[in-house]
């Protein structure tokens, strides 16, 4: 039997007009825009949250670093827990004390010291780390010894004066006190947290002076010490003039010898004129040239005269002649300076001891005794590198010790033997440029 066509059930599909299609597309676009806007809002909130967390983390890390630097033990000296804050105080003190010598010692103060070697295994940072630790050992040893000996000293006024000086310096440099403390003592330093360390420094210095007084020598000890170090303490008055050989750059030895011969002739001629009664200063004026002549012509000073010169403070070419035993007033000589390619005309006036140096000798003897005493104290203090930052402690310095010291010790400023005074280098003296200051 044939199937009959059945009528369709349900609604009949509506034919979309162009308008309908346009409205439908708009509706879908609006839905898409809403979804994207929602995603952007969610993304923005997420970014904000991450930024807040990052800032909070940075602040937290900064706070943690400051807390660690001011509370945790960075190094232990004996039984004393030393924070990074206190260590930086001593480290920067050493830096400041060597600031004028950095270039001479081969350091670049504008670059990271940890990247600048001063020996095969160590850097200049390691050098100053060691210096800081040694100073800390002395400070802790002396503070403990002062307490053990019931030494007391009120540092209130001294500390107030120190703070006022620091504030004045900061102001003169156009800096806030906070900025100055950080620059001078380290990034975590403030006026408040540095107070105990500055006060301890004042206390230990007062104790050192107390020990100096306790170890002052008797009058006879001073005389005996002088007798053993006469040359270091005697002074001389003398006149001198320098004839520099006229040597061109790149000159061969023959030319140098010729120029030296000419300089010697001039020096000998001046010496003979002086022995004949001519005035030494007038002879200097006649033989000087340019700016040197003006210096000798100055009537307010006598550029040819040097008074109160110590052995270490006189040019090495003439120091032995001046301090030779039996030298008497009026002795004159032409002295050759081979290394400097010049000749000196020298006239000895007198050699003597200034009794004001009794105090210098006394201080030298007392310093030696106190240094020995403190050295014995420090020997009982061990060093523990809590943070593992002190590389010098792990480097084998046996070879340096066998040679009598490290490069660090050799680099320290020189002093006159037995006097404690800074030595005067031969170079740069007025005499060597043709004038005597």
Q: Of 109-118, 196-205, 216-225, 362-371, where does mean pLDDT reach its minimum?
A: 109-118
Q: In the block, which residue shows the tokens 């001198």?
A: 240
Residue 26: is its pLDDT beyond 70? Answer: no
Task: Tell me how far apart the alpha carbons of residues 146 and 140 are, in angstroms, rounded to a whole number.
Answer: 10
Residue 263: is its pLDDT beyond 60? Answer: yes
* Residue 32 binned pLDDT confidence (cut-offs 50, 70, 90): low
pLDDT at 100: 87
SS3 track for 295-364: HHHCCCCCCCEEEEEEHHHCCHHHHHHHCCCCCCCCCEEEEEECCCCEEEEEEEEEEECCCCHHHHHHHH
Average pLDDT across the chain, whole number: 83
pLDDT at 4: 44
Strands in 342-352's sheet, in edge-to-edge order, are: 305-310, 235-244, 342-352, 332-337
Mean of pLDDT values over 34-39: 57
> For 120-157, what is each residue's pLDDT tens digit?
899 999 999 999 999 999 999 999 999 999 999 999 99
Residue 343: is its pLDDT beyond 60? Answer: yes
- Across 23-27, 53-57, 346-350, which has the greatest mean pLDDT? 346-350
pLDDT at 65: 78
pLDDT at 437: 36
Note the pTM of the prediction, 2 decimals.
0.67
Label residues 178-213 b or e (16+ Cβ within 10 Å = b).
eebbbebbbebbeeebbeebbebbbbbebbbeebbe
> For 391-425, what is each residue's pLDDT tens digit?
999 985 444 444 444 444 433 433 333 333 333 33
């Amino acid at each position: 039997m044939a199937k009959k066509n059945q009528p369709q059930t349900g609604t009949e599909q509506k034919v979309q007009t162009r308008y309908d299609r346009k409205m439908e597309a708009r509706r879908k676009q609006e839905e898409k825009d809403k979804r994207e806007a929602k995603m952007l809002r969610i993304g923005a909130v997420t970014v904000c949250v991450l930024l807040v967390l990052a800032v909070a983390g940075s602040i937290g890390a900064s706070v943690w670093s400051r807390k660690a630097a001011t509370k945790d033990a960075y190094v232990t000296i004996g039984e004393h827990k030393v924070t990074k804050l206190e260590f930086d105080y001593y480290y920067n003190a050493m830096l400041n004390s060597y600031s004028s010598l950095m270039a001479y010692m081969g350091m670049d103060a504008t670059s990271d010291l940890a990247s600048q070697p001063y020996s095969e295994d160590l850097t200049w940072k390691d050098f100053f780390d060691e210096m800081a630790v040694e100073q800390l050992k002395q400070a802790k040893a002396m503070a403990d010894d002062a307490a053990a000996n019931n030494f007391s000293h009120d540092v209130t006024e001294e500390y107030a004066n120190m703070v006022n000086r620091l504030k004045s310096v900061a102001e003169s440099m156009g800096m806030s006190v906070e900025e100055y403390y950080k620059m001078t003592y380290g990034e975590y330093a403030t006026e408040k947290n540095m107070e105990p360390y500055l006060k301890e420094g004042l206390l230990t210095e007062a104790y050192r002076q107390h020990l100096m007084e306790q170890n002052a020598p008797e009058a006879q000890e001073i005389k005996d010490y002088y007798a053993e170090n006469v040359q270091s303490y005697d002074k001389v008055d003398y006149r001198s003039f320098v004839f520099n050989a006229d040597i061109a750059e790149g000159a061969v030895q023959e030319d140098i010898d010729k120029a030296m011969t000419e300089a010697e002739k001039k020096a000998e001629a001046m010496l003979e004129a002086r022995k004949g009664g001519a005035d030494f200063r007038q002879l200097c004026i006649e033989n000087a040239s340019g700016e040197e002549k003006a210096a000798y012509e100055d009537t307010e000073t006598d550029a040819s005269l040097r008074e109160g010169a110590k052995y270490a403070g006189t040019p090495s070419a003439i120091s032995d002649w001046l301090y030779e035993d039996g030298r008497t007033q009026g002795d004159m000589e032409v002295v050759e300076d081979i290394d400097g390619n010049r000749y000196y005309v020298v006239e000895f006036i007198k050699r003597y001891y200034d009794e004001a140096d009794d105090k210098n000798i006394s201080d030298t003897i007392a310093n030696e005794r106190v240094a020995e005493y403190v050295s014995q104290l420090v020997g009982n203090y061990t060093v523990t590198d809590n943070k593992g930052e002190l590389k010098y402690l792990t480097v084998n310095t046996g070879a340096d010790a066998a040679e009598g010291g490290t490069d660090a010790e050799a680099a320290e400023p020189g002093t006159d033997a037995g006097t404690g005074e800074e030595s005067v280098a031969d170079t740069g003296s007025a005499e060597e440029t043709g004038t005597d200051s």
